[in-house]
Amino acid sequence: MYLLERITMVEFERYLQNTKTIVFPFGTIEEHGSHLPLNTDSLIIQEALLLASKRKSFFLAPLINYGVCTSTKDHPGTITISADTLRRLAADLVIDSYRKGLRNFLLISGHGGSIHLSALRETAEIIVEQYPDIKIAVFTPYDILYKELAEIIETPNDSHAGEIETSIVLYLYPELVKGLSEPEYPQLPKPFIVKEKLKYWPGGVWGDPKRATAEKGKKAINLIADKIISVIEEIESRSF
């Protein structure tokens, strides 16, 4: 387990002989209904990566706790950053890590916001053009495991603070689950961009938290960890 913040520079150089892969996890401080903590996105991705790191050697960078939140920006507790800030931060982290000898980069987000992920992907697109021997993957597990995760839960179109996220937190940290919010889906009037988003999504839940169980959460977090390992193995073995 190569936790970047807990190793020395000597250990870094030694471990670099074993792997040139680093994972940067991105989370948020964002509302997750009235029942889940504000760091739900951060908590889930961090725990999945720690689980993966016990089975596969790679550098795991410290969690970045802030992201781009648009639909939830007006909800109590959400603290967002701009897409420009995220682009600059991600670029600086990757480029300086490249200078230190790393070549395979995974930017993995526990937050599935479209603008948030777009900012990370745009950054990666620019960097791969500048450095011919660099490899980068950008994803949120919820996108690449949508079908598999949907088979674990019962709620159709489940997402933010719904059955799947609540199940995972119930499994990992049951003491952090404060009751269960009512089922809800956002009523944002797409394709229009509206200012008062809280009016269209007051509870901040997308799905049905009341169907959540710790057993479903255990299956989901292990599935995510296994997928992360699979992506690491692919990026290390393939030429793009």
Using DSSP, state whether 82 is helix, strand or coil.
coil
Which single residue is written with the structure tokens 């800030």?
A: 85
Q: Which CATH class is domain 2-237?
A: alpha beta
Whether 51 contacts 26, CB under 8 Å:
no
CA 9, CA 37: separation in Å to the nearest integer? Answer: 35
What angle do the packed helices 163-172 and 214-237 form, to 10 degrees?
100
Nearest to 51 by CA among 146, 135, 172, 231: 172
Summarize pLDDT for 15-28 with one digit per residue, the tens.
999 999 999 999 99
Query: Residue 142 above 90 pLDDT?
Result: yes
List the domain boundaries for the chain.
2-237
Summarize pLDDT for 5-59 with one digit per residue, the tens.
999 999 999 999 999 999 999 999 999 999 999 999 999 999 999 999 999 999 9
